[in-house]
Structure 1
Amino acid sequence: MPDTDGAPAAPAPHGDPVLRFLRAADRTPDRPAVRDGQRCLSFGELADHSARLADVLAGHGVRRGTLVGVRLPRSVDLVVALLAVWRAGGAYVPLDPGYPAERLAHMTRDADLRLVVTDRPDPAPHPGVRPVAVDERAPDTAARRPETTPTPDDPAYVIYTSGSTGRPKGVVVSRGGVAHLIAALEHGGLYADAPRTVGWNASVSFDASVQQWARVCRGDTLVLIDDRLRSEPAAFAAHVREHGVTDLDVTPSHWQVLSDLLLDHPGGTPLRLFVGGEPIPTPLWRDLALAAERGLVEAVNVYGPTETTVDATAAWITGDRPHLGLPLHGVRGQVLDAQLRPVPDGTEGELFLAGSGVAQAYLGRPALTAERFLPDPAAAASPGSRMYRTGDRVRRRADGTLDYLGRTDRQVKLHGFRIEPGEIETALADHPDVAAAAVTADAARGLSAYCTLAHGPATADAPERTAARLLSHLAATLPPYLVPSRLAVLPDMPLTANGKLDHAALPAAADRARAARPADEDGHLEPTGPVEPLIARTWAEVLGRDRVRADDDFFVLGGHSLMALKVIAGLKRSLGVVISTRAVYQHPQLRELARHVEDLLADRP
């Protein structure tokens, strides 16, 4: 059971991540360090490439603490760039090339970036920002940069998370926090002693990526899994098997569409799964526990906010009941009431986390930093020690493990993404046609947006066109994971008895608004034949709908890429056929998809 009175001693780190990488490169220069679909670099080559780019960055003025933007796809070059920023003493700010230009511009301004490492010209260059090519070389006359000697307090990266006020916030994490993360996972036996092969599955814009890519610093081999592979379950599984991936980080939602493909071909070594990003449903927990008993996987549930350097607790997945497990070594988890007093075991409270992994601050936001990062009353012997207020409601069991009970606010985790509905509501309300906006979220239906219009009631056929236009506005403003699956235009917002917005009543209000519009039931086609009804049932289950018709469009009904993966998994179970995600996009109408599936079935031997 963790020490809840005094901070447990942090595991002694083996040094800064970069120093560990250099030792690994010296030991095994010829062993593969990182590979993507086209290239592979050995540890020696990765050390050389990152040193050259670090020299270039140093020549442009990068020193300890300098923030450097990195705008690269998930590739070998991305690992080179991240290591180079660290070797020059800087901290990286990931700029996902798939994000809207407006989002990237905000992050660039907010972080006051002067350099961005990239592999292509910026379509919307920012004044005062110099692009640095990932293969740029320092002049021959330039002096070779000495390796910096970082301190644990030097920043390592700034990752932007969704903000409740409509403004994303940058979380500043230290080099010591990254060193603590690696050492704590090693201490807990979650990282094996011998080098492993790690699948890098997360976007670099999310903190889960740090737990994956930084493993190269301890001598593990990285196998990059790009967005194309992520969208094709069969190709994803084949890639994992082909490259001998032994350790894989997944969200529960993603594993549900991969499990059949990967458990069917477990290989010689059980796949070690790091499952996190959102709560694990009880049925999935039990399935994973059973697979672990059979020796097919070694599954661990990892939990932690961005503000505590990725992971703060861990639990091997066994038994029947999901839980967060125990705090990692060097982490103190306190369950407190509204007055910041400890609550008895078995009593609900808010989780506060302290220790070496606590982030430094929200970049440029001292008031918000002071609100969420509080003095740690249990660390009298460590002046200045702070704890992070997670906003997660938990209950401590008698054995010290923590049960997750929900949030104290409206923040949600969907498909591994941390989402503040307020950010989406602000973006929607910024449109001149919108009078009021609201957003709800649930695991089955994803994000749903609702709004009333500034110019009065819409005509009978206007809401659908208006909704499509407003969703396009959001897609041009927000990253894909924040764009709702559906948007309903309402005549007015439902209110509670005391006049506040009634979020629980929004879906019913949208149903009433649709029912009030003229219907054209005779124009719709019912599913027929052997395949259409099966696809209709799969769509209805995935989309959370009572009825799906043959001429319905998957994406018009609110489908998105992860739902498409669930459709693929459902059809594999019901029909024994594997279709690609591309096929769902190419045949969005149910009847068209049914014809494609029938063709595949007919071609089978």
Structure 2
Amino acid sequence: MNGSATAPRLSTRFERAVRRHPGRTALVAGGRTLTFGELEEASRRVAAGLRVGGVEAESLVGLHFTRSADLVIALLGVLRAGAAYVPLTPSHPDSLLAFVIENSAARLVLTDGDPARVPAPPDVTVCGTEDLPETPFTTLDAPAPHPHQLAYVIYTSGSTGRPKGVEVTHGSLDALLTALERTVYDTGPAACVGWNASPSFDASVQQWLRLFRGDTVVLIDERTRTEPEALARLIVDQRMSELDISPAHLLLLLDPLEAADLARPLRLLIGGEQIGEALWKRLGVLAESGRVSSVNLYGPTECTVDVTAALIDGAEPPHLGAPLGHARVQVLDDLLRPADEGEIYVSGESLARGYRGRPGLTAERFVASTVDGGGRRMYRTGDLVRRRGGRLEYLGRSDFQVKLRGYRIETGEVEAVLERCPGVGRAVVQLEHDPSGEPALVAYCQSSASLSAADLRAAAGRQLPAYMVPSVFVLVGRLPLTDHGKVDRAGLSVLRAAPEPVASPQDGPLSETEQMVAAVWSHLLGVEYVGPDDDFFTIGGQSALAIQLASRLRRVLGRAVPMVAVFENPTLRGLSTYLDQGRGKD
């Protein structure tokens, strides 16, 4: 069990911040700026409406919001009502959202959109915060949450084809915030923190928690997140002092960030995937300048966001650092004995309660501790490390789980979705590199001749969030097998022969702009020919490559090309026409 026997400090932290700094800016989001006093009043109204409507401890409330101030108001309202929230990203497929709502047993979903468009069962109430019952109460009728009560359930990828909900308690949240304050956060003036992560990604928790200590949170809109130059400008304009970011996203931001005239030193909180040696060294050079410092944070969702931290100075090779104060990190071998090289096991206050409605899986991953005793649990992370000079050096995974652009993905879930497609006999998905050299999911499918990569990409997109849809599909008559009759995963990459031309030269001459764009596409996607009607995303593009595409076009043209233009004009002809009309100057 997590937490102490008394109510966690988290239950009173926000109210204390409001009392101390009612006029300080608490939140900047979607063109709105709210002080702590205004955010307190708005979230209290939501909390009171939820309580009057029957929401109580252990109730789960779905949050179906865009990246707006209303999301934060609703989230705080749920927590202040003593309940727990379930993030529902509107851009995710309806089938996935419907599963999460049903599996979590949420009986209420709050949204800032059309309630009719939320794929909830008939017995689930869907409404906006303005539709909650009104109450004349001036005080909030909600007891302080017990440390063992749920605070949120975040769904992560699962190997069976369905995601699994990780149940995190109020006590674990309080322990996380306390540990970060003692180890990572600055003790000086109030910070201005950029909230970059998706609410469905547990890194977001670390960002909204900053409101509980009186810091200002800037919720970064979706368009700015995907435009490196725009994000760098926002960092300067808002005088940000901290930003959470994944290594893959940071690689795109570094150039404009190094060129920016930062108003104050910036600290990067980096997590979600392994930092490569080249990026680690570059961050070390930045640290020497005194303008940008970086912290490498590691932790599974099941251990409440972060359990280790390492200050990056470039003097040492990449490592995970030391445990935070709320977690005990052990390296154990296959017999659960302490070892210099083995799997990370985590115990302590950071542990989640388990998986929603999955007692068998909970018992499999949260095992009895062999080092703590007293009936305590420890979580099997699946992450392999080596002890070196008092540091933990990351070696990889012990299973088929991967991390891509900050998201943890069970490749088995993607495989299960693809194998449900008619005509697919077997699917194997693994992390490799796309034609531009960036990490990407590659799907090898044993399939009928009537199927195409576009068919499978569309089918996957109807059931999986965009970050889980493979970038590359390799369709074959049969998959290579080992002597034991299993798929030869090591030999799969040889099936990725040189790409077939996606359009023939007989398509006719291309305009000057089309030739320029086609050359960029060809380099990024590894295709020989690009025709005027080819779609960037159909022939292998994905969101990370779209960011690179927009960035390269900006360098070639010498003017702004927002990434949204790639999504709105995905064909070669459409994007070229957009650029010729000069709308890239916006």
Answer whether TM exceeds 0.5 for this pair: yes
Q: Tell me the CA shift for residue 192 of structure 1.
A: 3.6
Corresponding residue of 2:380: 389
Q: Tell me the CA shift for residue 143 of structure 1.
A: 8.5
Give the secondary-structure state (helix, strand or coil) at the position aligned to 2:445: strand
Q: Tell me the CA shift for residue 193 of structure 1.
A: 3.8
Report matched runs for 1:163-178 at 5 Å.
Answer: 163-178=158-173
Greater mean deviation of Cα atoms: 83-92 or 593-602: 593-602
Find out whether 1:317 has 2:305 as its counterpart. no
Greater mean deviation of Cα atoms: 359-368 or 591-600: 591-600
Give the secondary-structure state (helix, strand or coil) at the position aligned to 1:103: helix
Corresponding residue of 1:483: 469
Greater mean deviation of Cα atoms: 565-574 or 489-498: 565-574
Contact 1:233-1:258 within 8 A present in 2 as well: yes
Q: Tell me the CA shift for residue 299 of structure 1.
A: 0.7
Give the secondary-structure state (helix, strand or coil) at the position aligned to 1:511: coil
Q: Tell me the CA shift for residue 506 of structure 1.
A: 2.8
Greater mean deviation of Cα atoms: 402-411 or 58-67: 58-67
Corresponding residue of 1:6: none
Contact 1:494-1:501 within 8 A present in 2 as well: yes
Q: 1:593 to 1:368 in 2, by over 3 A?
A: same
Q: Tell me the CA shift for residue 14 of structure 1.
A: 11
- The CA distance in 2 between the partners of 1:131 and 1:602, in whole Å, is 39
Q: Tell me the CA shift for residue 599 of structure 1.
A: 8.4
Corresponding residue of 2:65: 72
Find out whether 1:330 has 2:326 as its counterpart. yes
Letter in 2 for 1:62: V
Identity level (%)? 44
Letter in 1 for 2:174: A
Report matched runs for 1:177-188 at 5 Å.
Answer: 177-188=172-183
Q: 1:180 to 1:242 in 2, by over 3 A?
A: same
Give the secondary-structure state (helix, strand or coil) at the position aligned to 1:332: strand
Corresponding residue of 2:411: 421
| RMSD, matched Cα | 3.1
Which residues of structure 1 form unaligned runs of 5+? 1-8
- Please point out which of 37, 43, 51 is paired with 1:58: 51
Corresponding residue of 1:435: 425
Greater mean deviation of Cα atoms: 15-24 or 290-299: 15-24
Which residues of structure 2 form unaligned runs of 5+? none
Q: 1:337 to 1:602 in 2, by over 3 A?
A: closer
Corresponding residue of 2:263: 268
- Please point out which of 538, 555, 561 is paired with 1:556: 538
Letter in 2 for 1:343: A
* Per-residue CA distance 1:219-253 (angstroms, 9 max, x = gap): 11111112122222222222222222211001111
Contact 1:441-1:448 within 8 A present in 2 as well: yes
Contact 2:17-2:214 within 8 A present in 1 as well: yes
- Please point out which of 325, 332, 339 is paired with 2:335: 339
Find out whether 1:493 has 2:479 as its counterpart. yes
Q: Which runs of 4+ in 1 moved over 6 A?
A: 9-14, 524-531, 594-603
Corresponding residue of 1:3: none
Give the secondary-structure state (helix, strand or coil) at the position aligned to 1:173: strand
- The CA distance in 2 between the partners of 1:279 and 1:377, in whole Å, is 28
- Please point out which of 81, 92, 117 is paired with 1:88: 81
Aligned residue pair count:
577
Q: Tell me the CA shift for residue 82 of structure 1.
A: 0.9
Greater mean deviation of Cα atoms: 130-139 or 419-428: 130-139
- Please point out which of 440, 446, 471 is paired with 2:440: 446
- The CA distance in 2 between the partners of 1:560 and 1:591, in whole Å, is 18
Corresponding residue of 1:4: none
Corresponding residue of 2:354: 361
- The CA distance in 2 between the partners of 1:531 and 1:407, in whole Å, is 43
- Please point out which of 86, 106, 113 is paired with 2:99: 106
- The CA distance in 1 between the partners of 2:270 and 2:510, in whole Å, is 37
* Per-residue CA distance 1:283-318 (angstroms, 9 max, x = gap): 111111101111220111111100110011111111
Q: Tell me the CA shift for residue 430 of structure 1.
A: 1.1
Q: 1:542 to 1:302 in 2, by over 3 A?
A: farther
- The CA distance in 2 between the partners of 1:230 and 1:118, in whole Å, is 22
Contact 1:201-1:225 within 8 A present in 2 as well: yes
- The CA distance in 2 between the partners of 1:602 and 1:226, in whole Å, is 20
Give the secondary-structure state (helix, strand or coil) at the position aligned to 1:92: strand
Give the secondary-structure state (helix, strand or coil) at the position aligned to 2:160: coil
Q: 1:369 to 1:221 in 2, by over 3 A?
A: same
Corresponding residue of 2:248: 253
- The CA distance in 1 between the partners of 2:571 and 2:120, in whole Å, is 39
Letter in 2 for 1:248: L
Which structure has more RCO (C-alpha within 8 Å, separation ≥ 6)?
1
Q: 1:450 to 1:67 in 2, by over 3 A?
A: same
Q: 1:142 to 1:20 in 2, by over 3 A?
A: closer
Q: 1:541 to 1:521 in 2, by over 3 A?
A: closer
Report matched runs for 1:283-322 at 5 Å.
Answer: 283-319=278-314, 320-322=316-318
Q: Tell me the CA shift for residue 126 of structure 1.
A: 1.4
Corresponding residue of 2:491: 505
- The CA distance in 1 between the partners of 2:192 and 2:527, in whole Å, is 44
- The CA distance in 2 between the partners of 1:78 and 1:601, in whole Å, is 32
- The CA distance in 2 between the partners of 1:525 and 1:499, in whole Å, is 48
Q: Tell me the CA shift for residue 76 of structure 1.
A: 0.8
